Structure 1
Amino acid sequence: MSFLLKFVIGIALIYLLLCLLLYLLQENIIFLSQKLPVDYQFVFQDHKEVFLENTELDNGRIHALHFFTPQPQRGVILYFHGNAGNLAGWGRLGKEFNDLGYDLFMPDYRGYGKSTGKLSQSALFSDALLCYNYLKQHYTTEDIIIYGRSLGTGIATYLASQVPARLLILETPFYSLSHIARSYFSFLPVRLLNRYPLPSHQHLKSVTYPIYIFHGLQDEIVSYASAKKLYESLEGKKVEMISIPHGNHNNLGQFDKYQEGLKRILAYE
């Protein structure tokens, strides 16, 4: 066997190994989960813990926090958080939305916090519907606002394509998770390997209510270009994109433009 042939075979084997690793380890790359003991006590005020069993899928148990605002209450925000941490950290947003006059319902994904069950894209989507149906027992559909942040935007867009709501808010969204993966692994066939494509651009085609997008121009995790591509795919929709010039992936809440935009969007009488 010639040296050249051995070299080509070696490169091919390395490439196949990289493909295999990406396929097998992608959940460790995408989902930076942190578990919590079942008896963990949250320190937030005006909330209750909710456990929802997904009996239609696999009996996975979804843990969520339901935050309540004093009356008058303007509605409820169903919030899908980012890919890192758990409700012990994300729950700080409860007070922020309560101060705007809204209840907040925030679930942890499977493997996060106190939530259990086998993770998959179909499971994430099924759990989102489970949370929505829980809220429908307590609120009208016109009272429900769907909110997704980062990874959570891929789940929020799916849910919005399936159910009625007042509006949809997306913070640091992507065109699709496959689109983002290609920017990190351009040399690999990520479209074939990705088990979590989260195609937000496809889901939003069937959304008929208003869509609002917040994104920072300095975002180094989910590129502004991906969010802009998503926005441009929504021609003819009721959509607004609010760009934060100096915003990155994790600091949009620090900018007046975000706070003012959010207050304007949520100022529902």
Structure 2
Amino acid sequence: MHNSVNRVSSVIIAAAVLMTTACTVRLSEDTFIASDDSATPFTAEFTHQLQQAMPNNTINPISLDASEQARLHGFYIDNPNSKTTIMFFQGNGMKIEPHTLNTLTRLSTLNTDILIVDRRGLGASEGQPRIYNLVADAQLQLDYLHQQYQPDNVIIHGYSLGSFIAADLAKNNKIAGLVLQGSATNADDWVDEKTPWYMSPFMSLEMPQGFRNIDNEQVVANHYQGPLLVIAGENDEEVPPELSEKLFAASQSAQKQLIMVPNVGHQGMLDSKKTLQQYQAFIAEL
């Protein structure tokens, strides 16, 4: 969830001064979902860096017209030997430029095509982010992928906050596989894990219904039964690995795997060579 954990932790710390009496902590989409004041186009230097990192692939900038007159920007990275596409949904506050060069480089070693788009209100994309339009934007991207590139297989990969968008998309579409990385079960469980035990009796939490409507645990338990790969960091303090384990246990998928990456926190999970090998094996079995 990138910056979102810091935002919630700040709210909890602020509430600590009210511990002598019951208090209500309110989370809003404006304060929780990171956004920029204005869109920033990708630089030619960054596109060149992508091309250098994966010289055998074609880097295609893409633009999509979304609802509310927002224009979304990203990349389709075309591997000439693949008809499988990974759709990657980033964590909160995670912009394609400058945050994803390493991630995209790691994913490119899986020898698939990659679709990645800055979510609205962040990086190169316009608009005001809300849960409902982030979900709609994800569907727009998937529809565009099928219309423009006709992949044989689509793998939806969500990281951190992006895992909620990925799982919701998997709930309503036929896909080849779902990858949830650094993922929580749902917003309530995640906030509970981030709230010190000594504050819990004094706090109640209010959040927009949109946050509760996207629930990874409900998706894998009741809706999505296709191949599932859950990736967690053993030392993740932002999204505790226990939530990934709970998510994995709730899944009804016949083909599922949990990768617990040792000695890694919320970032760096894909830096593990073994993790990428296991990811590649997951793809090969689809």
- TM-score where L is the length of structure 1: 0.82
Deviations 1:216-240 (A, max 9, x none): 2211000111111111111454321
Offset at 1:148?
0.7
**Greater CA radius of gyration, 1 or 2?**
1
Q: How does 1:14-25 map to 2 (within 5 A)?
A: 19=25, 22-24=26-28
SS of 1:209 mapped into structure 2: coil
Match 2:60 to one of 43, 48, 67? 48
Rate the CA distance shift 1:101–1:74 in 2: closer, same or farther, 3 A: farther
Give the number of equivalent residue pairs: 253
Superposition deviation, residue 94 in structure 1: 3.1
Q: Give 1:84's aligned amino acid.
A: G
The aligned counterpart of 2:72 is 62
User: Could you tell me whether the CA contact under 8 Å between 1:73 and 1:103 is conserved in 2?
Assistant: yes
Structure 2 residue aligned with 1:248: 265
Among 105, 108, 111, the alignment partner of 2:115 is: 105
Encode CA deviations 1:42-91: one digit per residue, 9 max, x unaligned: 33213122111124xx232221111122x211411110011133111214
2:177 is matched with 167
Aligned residues of 1:216 and 1:252 also touching (Cα < 8 A): yes
Aligned residue type for 2:88: Y
What aligned pairs does 1:216-255 form with structure 2 within 5 A after superposition?
A: 216-235=233-252, 237-255=254-272
- Residue 112 of structure 1 and its aligned partner are, at CA, apart by 0.8
Amino acid at match of 2:182: T
* Cα deviation digits, residues 87-142 of structure 1 (max 9, x gap): 11214433333332211110111211111122111111100000000001134464
1:157 aligns with 2:167: yes
Specify the alignment match of 1:203 in structure 2. 219
**Unaligned stretches of 5+ in structure 1?**
1-9
Structure 2 equivalent of residue 81 of structure 1: 90
Shift of the alpha carbon at 1:11? 5.8
Looking at structure 2, the residues matched to 85 and 35 of structure 1 have their Cα atoms a distance apart, in angstroms, of 15
- Is the counterpart of residue 181 in structure 1 residue 191 in structure 2? yes
In 1, the alpha carbon distance for the partners of 2:164 and 2:244 equals 12
- 1:38 matches 2:50: no
Q: Percent identity?
A: 21
Partner residue, 1:4: none
Residue type of the alignment partner of 1:23: L
1:190 aligns with 2:190: no
Structure 2 unaligned segments of length 5 or more: list them.
1-16, 52-57
RMSD, matched Cα: 2.8
- Structure ranking higher on relative contact order (CA contacts 8 Å, 6+ apart): 2
Q: 1:108 to 1:263 in 2, by over 3 A?
A: same
Quick one: distance in 2 between partners of 1:37 and 1:11?
40
| 140-149 vs 191-200, greater mean Cα deviation | 191-200
